[in-house]
Structure 1
């Protein structure tokens, strides 16, 4: 298989710079590329050290390798690293068929979701990658999302195609109820097992729902169907994010926002935007994250429950923390806490926001103060503020896990144990780190979550770098390598 074309003998200085800073060997980068290619269904890709050397010497790899390298370096450095910054040529993409600037109209939304899910489901068989798998950031991302607030045209202008006569009986209310209950079940599985276990099942369900949307239904039922579509697309995006498919996740989030608009559900749209915000924080695009959460807050100022508003304030705090703005971060934390006290404990809240419990609020508060600590040069003051909130979050998740038949929000529990381990590192407490990280390993082995596995490995690597002479840290690193080897990380199943 030819994987590249020569572009003269001029070495690729840009790619070499990113490669040297990554700390990877040529063999390790080759293994990472092959692994990601398998996740994407591109089983024809087989890279080795000599191929990596030729890329560094100036050979231009063919798609999808430039995109894969962009994703790998973006995740390694926690920021968006475009293909062009690697000194590589990206495939030409039509503005109308790529990116996130998509038509805000019901028929086009249905078509786009149907086509994208079909391609995603084909990954394992034909290596289909689609034309839109490129990460958007900055104005390219934020400006199209602002059109979420523009009112929909009149229904007459946006009628869906008439159904084929006799093709399918009308969708009944009980059938729609069952679709909504199935979405709730998928959400529980994701929290308990991670995104790698049921991602393809959700994509398949989403594809089936778009087929229903191609038919004509009464307006109220049509909106409910778009609501189910939005929730499934959000879940597909969240699970893709959890297993490390960042570009796929972003596309699903964008499509979910379009569906939420057609469902006329502003709070659900705000929730989708909050997950896009979280993804941008993960990629260290904090200004983009702040703009997205502000857009969510503005769009849902009427209709969002107190729990939803509290969650948005918590995400605002995270964005401000990563921007190194302690005053605004603390204010957002206070608003999140005060608003949460007004949250409804009855069943009147939508299922998608019920995850945001006291444990989640404490976790977000702790992560905000931890991020402030790093933004302030490892400030012990902010580390001290983070610790009681993180301890409370871990205790609440542990109690939920003990009392719940399915293990509760197991992934959140694992992530916050890792967060507590990181706080121990920040406070220069290697034994505390090893204890928390050891508990996290036990949970991580039960999860198909690339995000959990990567955070655990990254935190452990930092511990070895700072406390490589401490026996507890050395033993923890050995245990991690033995019990959670990199090949055991989740794949997009």
Structure 2
């Protein structure tokens, strides 16, 4: 009925999905037997003890993995969306697990396998926000329901895993700090040049780090630190994929990184990953999901978030409320962000929050005011536009030279604010600067913002400034003229 692997480990993924289905071992064995008989498969009649062997790591012979997948998928209402790989079984074409967002919490082995799969199999493909890839990201309850347990999930006990393995090396603080230094280097490269160029290198580094998690020994403290470092590196890999327009890949990387953060017992990194996911969902126009992800981050990290994290999450909350037309809530959240920012002590902030400085706060709230101006009328529109211009101007004056992509976003924010109040010439000037910066980086996110600006300028197409703005964007970005 099956063969034991050379290095058998409990099949945490199968256990997770079996528990989710509500079936007992006996019921699963009976269902497999019945389905095999109906298919004409002879000699397939597992009992409860055989199911326990599968859960302990035995791989059943074909067609049993496919039968189990069908049965559990039907009980869960997932149909063919559940795969053999999702259950921790080798795929006939060697396709590993991790296509599903619903990975088990408190299962470090499943987290390691999911990250290893992604870093082995990912290839770079030229996607943009409007490709089928972007339309196949998970959203709504399909996205939020599997993530809710993060807020209260505890890490699995690493000491038990260590006793079961045959170590091929030992990990100490030196290796962990080395990985954090490499992560900082990749994050800097992303800020300077965009995510496209370095994405494969980050995935390769993640693969190496995951191999250390899987094959080496470490104390519990060092193991937690290593999981946390891998999670932070995963956030960079997901962010680069997002910037490259590979949205499905980005979402899957963020999910596995979130699980790694949980195994590292690092709610602060988890909150950071969730805000990355929120920005992606906003970019894809799933604005309610973006707001829900921020709320989950705020709740889950409420006892662990630094002032910078709280300020960052509140500033994003302000932006998403503005998009949804909740202008009073947007202003309240902006006030909370500014209050929390005043409590920041830079030396006490985690490394992954280094990007959130006064410039980033000003830019995020400035965009919220820009969106509010677009959604307002009369005196309120004028007031919101003035706030936006002031805060985005502050952001630009404080931006370090290497934050090229951020500067491009700031100029685009100014251009869109000018358009919101009909100042087409101002929008044209800011667009010219943004296009110069765009030429120095490789970022599909900036391209998408340029397309949005191009479309927003349509209402002013009767003016020469708007016509010039739109033509310049069309020359730089592939746009379908409207």
Is the TM value for this pair above 0.5? yes
Distance in 2, matches of 1:301 and 1:457, equals: 37
2:181 alignment counterpart: 181
Greater C-alpha radius of gyration: 2
Q: Do structure 1's residue 262 and structure 2's residue 263 form an aligned pair? A: yes
Return the match for 2:154 from 152, 174, 181. Answer: 152
1:392 alignment counterpart: 391
Distance in 2, matches of 1:261 and 1:239, equals: 22
Asked whether the equivalents of residues 275 and 294 of structure 2 are also in contact (C-alpha less than 8 Å), the reply is: yes
* Gaps in structure 2 of 5+ consecutive residues: 1-77, 87-96, 127-132
Aligned 1:89-488 pairs, distance under 5 A: 92-94=80-82, 96=86, 98-104=99-105, 105-121=107-123, 134-152=136-154, 155=157, 159=161, 162-164=164-166, 167=168, 169-214=169-214, 215-346=216-347, 348-376=348-376, 381-382=380-381, 384-401=383-400, 407-463=401-457, 465-482=458-475, 484-486=476-478
Asked whether the equivalents of residues 397 and 409 of structure 1 are also in contact (C-alpha less than 8 Å), the reply is: no
Distance in 1, matches of 2:103 and 2:419, equals: 44
Distance in 2, matches of 1:247 and 1:453, equals: 18
Asked whether the equivalents of residues 383 and 426 of structure 1 are also in contact (C-alpha less than 8 Å), the reply is: no
Asked whether the equivalents of residues 311 and 338 of structure 2 are also in contact (C-alpha less than 8 Å), the reply is: yes
User: What is the TM-score normalised by the length of structure 1?
Assistant: 0.72
Asked whether the equivalents of residues 99 and 136 of structure 1 are also in contact (C-alpha less than 8 Å), the reply is: no
* C-alpha deviation, 1:384, in angstroms: 3.0
Residues 122 and 164 of structure 1: is their aligned pair in 2 closer, same or farther, counting only changes over 3 Å?
farther
SS in 2 for 1:152: coil
Distance in 2, matches of 1:275 and 1:330, equals: 22
Asked whether the equivalents of residues 238 and 254 of structure 2 are also in contact (C-alpha less than 8 Å), the reply is: yes
User: What is the TM-score normalised by the length of structure 2?
Assistant: 0.73
Distance in 2, matches of 1:358 and 1:159, equals: 43
Asked whether the equivalents of residues 398 and 413 of structure 1 are also in contact (C-alpha less than 8 Å), the reply is: no
SS in 1 for 2:197: coil
SS in 2 for 1:486: coil
Residues 132 and 224 of structure 1: is their aligned pair in 2 closer, same or farther, counting only changes over 3 Å?
farther
Asked whether the equivalents of residues 159 and 220 of structure 2 are also in contact (C-alpha less than 8 Å), the reply is: no
Residues 209 and 298 of structure 1: is their aligned pair in 2 closer, same or farther, counting only changes over 3 Å?
same
Distance in 1, matches of 2:171 and 2:217, equals: 10
Distance in 1, matches of 2:245 and 2:378, equals: 30
* Gaps in structure 1 of 5+ consecutive residues: 1-89, 125-130, 402-406, 488-493
* C-alpha deviation, 1:153, in angstroms: 6.0
For residues 323-348 of structure 1, the C-alpha deviation after alignment (integer angstroms, 9 at most, x for no partner) is: 221222111111111111111133x3
Distance in 2, matches of 1:417 and 1:91, equals: 47
Please report the RMSD computed on the Cα atoms of aligned residues, expressed in angstroms. Answer: 2.7
Distance in 2, matches of 1:201 and 1:364, equals: 29
Distance in 2, matches of 1:335 and 1:341, equals: 10
